[in-house]
Amino acid sequence: KMKPIYVLHLLAVLVIANATAPNDSAEKSKFVATKEWQEIPEGQGIPQGLHVRINLSTGKKEAKLLDDESAAETQATDAQRQGVTESSLSLVPGQEVEDHGSRQPAPAGSLGGMNLEAIKEALRDIPANDYKPEDATVSGRYKSYSQIKQELKDANVELQTDSEIMGALLGRFTKSVSNEQELDALFEDLRYLAHQIDNALEFIDRGGVEQIIWPSLNRTGEQHQRGRVQALTLLGTLAQNNPKAKVSLFERDASAKLLAALGRATVSEELSAALYAFGSLVRKFPFAQKQLLTPHGYSLLYDIWTKPVVELKVKVKALQLVADVVEDYLSVTNESGSSPEPVDAVTVEQYRSTRLTEGLEKTEFCKHAGQFFQAHRAALVADEHLTDETVRALRSCRTLCRPLWSECALFRHTLLVLRNNLDNRLSDDPDLVAYRTEIQLHIDDFLRDLYGNGKPKDEL
């Protein structure tokens, strides 16, 4: 049996040992932060004011002491928090969100912080709706929706297609022949429709050429000149960029009708309309070139250059027509050596079958064109725009006409006169300096084409 004194001694030793032993739970709950990142053990509490992050590599939380700048910001934030009302929430690093109080309930008789009585008083000040229906006098000036609907129904409005409109225009022609004003309106409407390829073909198929165009061209006399001009313009509109229409027109004897109209024309307006129709048919259409660019056709074109009453711009238009055909022919057959893209063999053969260059040589185109250019030197000097168009057209034919023009002193003299005139007028109008300089460059290029490098001297 143990004595009591020994029991007391043993208990004292155990108490002392327990007091001096380290407290693992206390040590575990204490986190000592440094300026380096340290991992926060699971369930470990941390003091306030630390910089906490999650390491994306390990997925663990880490903490460290705030930097000097961050610490200053934290102190400022803490100072601001002290001025926040008790109804606000604070978020302290390392702690859960705590509710520091709840918002005081709104007092009775208020809405959103505003007094209900004040709101009611403000609503009483809003004026009432004093709208009154208009009297019968005012309302009678306007039609109701039902009235408008009924009137549209009674009007029996009907939309017409282009085909129906064209049929009506063809029917009106016989009634409008004697009235020049109505005739002009009729041709204008037909030209508008004929700009569309399908409408042009329908006009031809419905007999519009035989009913309107050919009869108008066959009428002679000055009183019918306006009708002939309108018919030629409509003919050109039908054929322009419309190969099927061109074929249909030639099936209706267009070549003979057009050459006859071109031969009868004597005034500028009618000749201009005839050239428009002529050009619309022959441009980029070898079959038409074989039909129209015959010795007779060439002679009609050359005669335009010698008619004194014809305006210069119409004469230049005739030159441009031939130049366009020549340029197109040389490009397709590659006789100029500068074809922009390859052309199929069938098209090349079609162009060569026209024997265009042979026809121009036999009819002495280069001679007639040179004489026209030299004879109208004074008129060209006065009009720089026509000078530009004439020089461009002549230069398009240089491959064909170089042997003749390069040996003609008068041709060279005309070019130099035009160039020197532009040189003298270069500073007359500042707005035209660039344009006149460009014309000069074209003339210089043409001179080099014919006479080689260097500006040739005028021997006349």
Tell me what the mean pLDDT of segment 203-214 comes to.
94
Give the CA radius of gyration of the chain.
Answer: 50
pLDDT category, 74, cuts 50, 70, 90?
A: low
More confident residue, 27 or 90: 27
Predicted pLDDT at 35: 86
More confident residue, 103 or 209: 209
Q: For residue range 104-159, what is the model confidence (pLDDT) as tens digits?
A: 555 666 655 566 676 666 666 655 555 555 555 555 667 776 677 666 666 665 55
Tell me what the mean pLDDT of segment 307-329 comes to.
95
Cβ atoms 167, 193 nearer than 8 A: no
* Residue with tokens 């039909």, as numbered in its chain: 291
364 pLDDT above the threshold of 90: yes
Task: Name the pTM for this structure.
Answer: 0.64
Mean pLDDT of the chain: 80
Predicted pLDDT at 246: 95
Angle at 270 between CA 268 and CA 271, to 5 degrees: 65
Q: For residue range 245-292, what is the model confidence (pLDDT) as tens digits?
A: 999 999 999 999 999 999 999 999 999 999 999 999 999 999 999 999
Q: Identify the bridge partners of residue 63 per DSSP, sorted by sequence position.
A: 38, 52
Predicted pLDDT at 87: 39
Tell me what the mean pLDDT of segment 288-297 comes to.
95
CA-CA-CA-CA dihedral for 274, 280, 283, 284, to nearest 10: -160
Phi and psi, residue 452, nearest 5°: 85, -175
C-alpha to C-alpha distances, 19 to 13, 29, 53, 82, nearest whole angstrom: 10, 18, 37, 41
